[in-house]
Amino acid sequence: MIQAIFQYEFLQNAFLTGILIGIIAPLLGAFIVVRRLSLIADALSHVTLSGIAASLYLSKTVPALSGLNPLYFGMAFSVMGSLFIERLRMVYKHYQELAIPIILSGGIGIGVIFISLADGFNTDLFSYLFGSVSAVSRGDLYLIGGISILVIGVILLLYKELFLLSFDEDHAKASGIPAKAIHFIFMIMVALVIAASMRIVGILLVSSLMTLPVAASIRIANGFKQTIGFSLLFGEISVIVGLVSAFYLNLAPGGTIVVTAILILLMTIVFKKLRTVNLSSKVEV
């Protein structure tokens, strides 16, 4: 496997991209889970699907757009979807959770229309849905590398503000933190990461990589920073094991990555339960 990575460029692209996604997806996922916005990733992934389907349709019908990378359309739709979610959350101040199913439904509806116009599913669309090792180009790697630098930089720069907004939004606003601007920045980052991750994990499974490693880390972590640390570790393990499994078993990497993440989650649950039982027995003794 290692020899093949050095030999084939597409494997280099896939593994380097996977490593980057294994960092930025759980990193943002930690804040998403704490803010109880886990379904946002699902909503934006379906909006991204609409952008991909629209791009594939336009590339068939408009010759000038035949060479357009669908990733750009997916990102544009995802960013617009994130901005609409934030806007709807302001409109429905007392029912903010309504914004997510509204955008999710719209994303599915528009996606189905463009898929129908493009004469149904094809190989390209299937690879976007479930991920593909061979679909990641060097250009995709550079783009995802740039997004990774942006996301990590913003998190480091605004960590305190994001932390306060995640755990106590009222206190954060009272402290003078520009909550609205930071919310928009955060949502745009989530949109970009979801669109960037679809090459490896797939549109329908990308939300899993943002939530499953965080769910596993919550079971064993003490404190938020430790939660982020374990999330990054579990995310990287899921991506690397998933990509290796996909390569040898000739499977879609999205499925193998998510199944690995689920196995890690189950192990942490069992570990937590065993540790609780052991502590209880020691106390009784």
Contacts of 176 (CB under 8 A, 6+ apart): none
The mean pLDDT of 43-50, rounded to a whole number, is 87
Establish if 255 belongs to a structural domain: no
> Token match 């101040």: residue?
93
Establish if 231 belongs to a structural domain: no
Whether residue 201 is predicted with pLDDT greater than 90 in this model: the reply is no
Query: How far is residue 168's CA from residue 205's CA, in Å, rounded to a whole number?
Result: 30
Q: For 201-229, b where at least 16 C-beta lie within 10 A, e where not — what string?
A: bbbbbbbbbbbbbbbbbbbbbeeeeebbe
The DSSP call for residue 88 is H
Query: How far is residue 107's CA from residue 100's CA, in Å, rounded to a whole number?
Result: 11
Establish if 283 belongs to a structural domain: no
pLDDT tens column, 101-120: 888 888 889 888 888 887 66
Contacts of 33 (CB under 8 A, 6+ apart): 211, 214, 215, 218
SS3 content of the chain, % helix, strand, coil (to 5): 85, 0, 15
Establish if 62 belongs to a structural domain: yes
pLDDT at 156: 92
Query: How far is residue 42's CA from residue 103's CA, in Å, rounded to a whole number?
Result: 10
Q: Which residue has the higher pLDDT, 2 or 271?
A: 271
Length of the chain: 285
Query: How far is residue 242's CA from residue 261's CA, in Å, rounded to a whole number?
Result: 9
* Domain of residue 115, residue span: 2-207
Establish if 196 belongs to a structural domain: yes
Establish if 165 belongs to a structural domain: yes
Establish if 74 belongs to a structural domain: yes
CA-to-CA dists, residue 138 to 84, 133, 142, 226, 251, angstroms: 31, 12, 6, 33, 22
Establish if 248 belongs to a structural domain: no
Count of the separate structural domains present in the chain: 1
pLDDT tens column, 231-265: 999 999 999 999 888 888 888 888 889 999 999 99
Q: Which residue has the higher pLDDT, 229 or 175?
A: 229
Other beta carbons within 10 angstroms of residue 158's beta carbon come to: 17
**Residues 88 and 99 sit within 8 Å (Cβ to Cβ):** yes
